[in-house]
Structure 1
Amino acid sequence: MQKIYDELKHEATFFVIYIAEAHPDDGWQTDSNEQEGIRLRQHTTSDERRAAAQSCATKLKLSIPTLLDNMDDAANNAFSAWPERIYIVNKFGIIHYRGGRGPFDFHPTEARTSLVDLLGPKPD
């Protein structure tokens, strides 16, 4: 996603919405998280979620602006986003692209193609 953001950030507005932790150590911790030393409990406060989002952005070297889902998980529930998902919303607020749920159906290249189609041809 960072490469797509770097390429198209002047033509579209991008956000990451940080939602509930996908693999908390007090829930479904994965072997890969264990091996990489990623140990996060499920967030119970917005400060914990903010700290997790900042840690994630730093570890993944993301410069995409990040928003936080409310603690009632409103964005996650509205967009069925857990554990990760890509949406493209047009300027009228209509969903143009809804990617599959990650990690298995998370396809940034497909989302990029959809975004480029939405943006249309560049003027000469």
Structure 2
Amino acid sequence: MKSNLKDDVCYAQPKTLEQRVMIANDFVKRFKFTLPFGIDDMSNAANDAYAAWPERIYIIDESGRIAYRGGIGPFNYKPEEAREWLAARYGAVKHEAPKSSTNAAPATGAAASPTPAPSAAAK
């Protein structure tokens, strides 16, 4: 996509977990992402366990349980439904568009160092 080239967010397909972590850290910095998240291992165990391909939204609650399971995309992929669920549970959130990558500052907090997702067997 032209916008990916313009924003310098084109990456080669990662071949190692370290490469996936590097890409995730870049995301955290560019978008000042402050929520913790996991990174799938190279066997894609979390992707397989959650049937995440081609796209799917899950919300995991504070106790590590699935609190919201969205439909499988592309036809049942409804981000607005997830936003409504989050607003109903936690209240409306003011959303600001992320600044361009050239203005992004390093993120701080728990999400500054994304960690690999737990194995599917641990779920």
TM range (shorter): 0.5 to 0.7
Q: What's the TM-score once normalised by structure 2's chain length? A: 0.55
* 1:93 and 2:80 matched: no
* 1:36 and 2:7 matched: yes
Structure ranking higher on relative contact order (CA contacts 8 Å, 6+ apart): 2
Matched pairs, number: 89
Q: What's the TM-score once normalised by structure 1's chain length? A: 0.55
| Equivalent AA in structure 2 for residue 101 of structure 1 | G
Name the CA distance, whole Å, in 1 between partners of 2:73 and 2:3: 19
- Computed over aligned residues only, the root mean square deviation of the Cα atoms, in angstroms, reads 3.1
Out of 38, 48, 62, the position equivalent to 1:77 is 48
What SS does structure 2 have at the residue aligned with 1:88? strand
Out of 107, 114, 120, the position equivalent to 2:85 is 114
Instruction: Give identity over the alignment, percent.
Output: 32
Contact 1:99 1:111 in 2 (8 A): no
Shift of 1:44: 0.8
Shift of 1:38: 1.6
Structure 1 stretches lacking a partner, 5+ long: 1-29
| Equivalent AA in structure 2 for residue 98 of structure 1 | G
| Equivalent AA in structure 1 for residue 36 of structure 2 | P
Structure 1: which 4+ aligned runs deviate by more than 6 Å? none
